[in-house]
A and B are shown apart, each in its own frame.
Chain A
């Protein structure tokens, strides 16, 4: 399955096993603009899989109302770039629902899915990674998968988690990431990072699309092509870099990240969102406080620039393999 098929499969399982579950948003009935809801309306009926009017604040508010009644509401925001009209409903309402009612009400059944990150030609409003804006919304969870297997297991866990979850799907992976996904119902744990490549010399942390650039960067580090070789000192090519997928952005798995950094003494964090106020800032601050004596180099952030995502400039905007490679080399050589 590719990633959109894995997402669809997860929703199909959720709808089959939970009569209260519904899927809705703009254009989901015909299968969704990214095909994530293909055939669900035919399979489960238009009362359970339906289009809404074109209003993000409406979608989020409506979803909160359903979840407040104990139903499972799986809402789609067509692009993460368009989640801001729903910011008030998500931050002031969904995140605070349980707390402000002293535990009497909650919207645990709420999951908001939304395509995120760059796609090569998305410009300002089809490329954004807004996870950092929600970082301060205690009460919400934020989950970003890197692959079809991850997407299915994390989405099922998100749908069933007793808290409102923002599930952000890297849209460039919808068709490009393909792997054998188990057909069974399975869940992957929220709040847990995953070690993809074990290492001892540097911790490389990312989530979503940039993980693939991180993999490329590690290959370039070990075997730099002639054009890059002058920039990669031979002594650093055997460095063992530990690659981590954070997976859950809020609450983030500090335990795993810290255990890794305490071992390696070096940390590079990579995300597509702009640097200032990005998630890496939060991680860097906590790491320097808790692993101060173990750090052999400053924590390095490889991120989008503090500008919107300009259409023709994207290749220079995103933290691609060479930028990650450069940060690794500089951090190792510090």
Chain B
């Protein structure tokens, strides 16, 4: 799926795409399905593991009318689903780390979830340089809150190698300084990640305090589709990693030695996945976007505070929506950049022009 979306982005069909590590699956498997997950943007595996489905992921990447993660408001890979206990991803790095401590404190205060659930927060070793990492670690250990911190140390933050990110012994060495149980694990070994996360989660839920896991991996892909990583690292280095220390190959060998997997199984799986993904892709690509009026929704909740009289109307967003509707009426069919764009929206923006001039 990564490969496909990656190539699609290269063809210019969606705007942006990131790669992902297999560390995610090992940890996801160790969590309770209703543990609250706060991610950075490489954690689609958690959602897929929980059964969110390929269609939902594709819809979010295209920002189409079935994208309920953000109704087309956020960039691709910024997923979210309350039903699957996965908090919506946002771009600013590390902001989710202290939020996770707050989520965990709320779990602790909820009699139905106290001692049963934890908050799980994923982040890269680059994000761990942000002040919010310090804040989150501090709050989760001091207040305390059952927060499981999973640092993916893949050696690079865009072009910056970890040698330029910190001088200490990685992220794990910081855990004890916050009084936190900490473990470092081979992030390319799914089973190691699984067992480390199980134990970390057990301690986290039982003690009600933060626990830190550092998973050592290597970012095989480029940082994102906006990045060509061969500008700052050797192609050979990447190829070696892919060959020698590939989490999927390693797990495949394990399955084969147990007699649980064969070449035929592999072919069949590949074919099935390819078919499913292509189908979801085609479907998502064919759908329209949400209605254009959604641009103005969900800024505030509840009632707008004013009782509106037409001549004194002043609800900025309603006003501004009206303003846009008027402009669309004037130029929507004559200004080409708008005309071609409107066709991509469900209803072609007509719900706006229809409302234009109506008393709201």
Chain A interface (Cβ within 8 Å of chain B)? Answer: 20, 22, 47, 50, 52-53, 55, 57-58, 60-71, 73, 85, 88-89, 92-93, 96-106, 108, 138-139, 141, 161-163, 189-192, 248, 251, 253-255, 258-259, 290
Contacts and interface: CB of A to CB of B under 8 A. Distances in A.
Contact of A64 (B99, B134, B138): B99
A93 B99 contact: yes
A66 B299 contact: no
A52 to B, nearest CB: 7
**Most chain A CB within a 10 A radius of its CB, from B99, B131, B301, B316:** B99
A61 B96 CA distance: 7
A9 B301 CA distance: 26
Nearest to A55: B135
A104 B106 contact: no
A63 B99 CA distance: 7
Given A55-B138, A62-B105, A100 B132 contact: no
Interface of B: 36, 38, 67-71, 73-74, 78, 80-82, 87-88, 90, 92, 95, 97-107, 109-110, 119, 131-132, 134-136, 138-139, 142-143, 297-302, 304-306, 309, 312, 314-317
B90 A96 contact: yes
Interface of A is mostly: mixed
A106 B301 contact: yes
Contact of B306 (A64, A98, A100, A253): A253
A259 B313 CA distance: 11
A71 B314 contact: no
Contact of B80 (A64, A69, A105, A253): A105
A102 B102 contact: no
Contacts of B106: 20, 65-66, 68-71
Q: Sorted from nearest, which 4 A-B pairs have the closest CB atoms?
A: A65-B102, A191-B305, A61-B98, A58-B135
Contacts of A60: 98
A259 to B, nearest CB: 7
A55 B139 contact: yes
A58 B138 contact: yes
25 contacts: A53-B139, A57-B132, A58-B134, A58-B138, A63-B102, A65-B103, A65-B105, A69-B106, A85-B131, A93-B90, A100-B88, A102-B73, A103-B298, A105-B82, A141-B300, A161-B302, A163-B301, A163-B302, A251-B300, A251-B304, A253-B306, A254-B314, A255-B312, A259-B312, A290-B314
B299 A139 contact: yes
Contacts of B309: 255
A99 B73 contact: yes
Contacts of B107: 69
Contacts of B87: 68, 105
A258 B311 CA distance: 11
Contact of A61 (B36, B71, B74, B135): B135
B78 A100 contact: yes
Contacts of B301: 98, 103, 106, 108, 162-163
Contact of A92 (B92, B97, B305): B92
Given A62-B101, A64-B99, 7 more contacts: A60-B98, A62-B105, A65-B99, A93-B90, A103-B297, A139-B299, A254-B314
A215 B143 CA distance: 46
A98 B317 CA distance: 15
A167 to B, nearest CB: 16
Contacts of B300: 98, 138-139, 141, 162-163, 251
B69 A20 contact: no
Given A58-B98, A102-B68, A102-B70, A251 B316 contact: yes
A50 B99 CA distance: 17
Nearest to B302: A162
A220 B68 CA distance: 59
B104 A98 contact: no
Contacts of B69: 101-102, 104
A139 B300 CA distance: 5
A254 B135 CA distance: 39
B304 to A, nearest CB: 8
Given A58-B136, A105-B87, A88 B95 contact: yes
Contacts of A85: 131
A192 B312 CA distance: 14
B306 A255 contact: yes
Contacts of A98: 298-301
A50 B139 contact: no
A328 to B, nearest CB: 26
Contacts of A255: 306, 309, 312, 314
**Most chain A CB within a 10 A radius of its CB, from B69, B135, B315, B317:** B135
B120 to A, nearest CB: 12
A261 to B, nearest CB: 12
Contacts of A71: 106, 109
B92 A88 contact: yes
Contacts of A254: 314
B305 A192 contact: yes
Given A57-B131, A69-B106, A101 B80 contact: yes
Nearest to A138: B299
A190 B316 CA distance: 15
A64 B305 contact: no
Given A58-B139, A65-B119, A88-B92, A251 B99 contact: no
A100 B73 contact: yes
B305 A89 contact: no
A290 B314 CA distance: 10
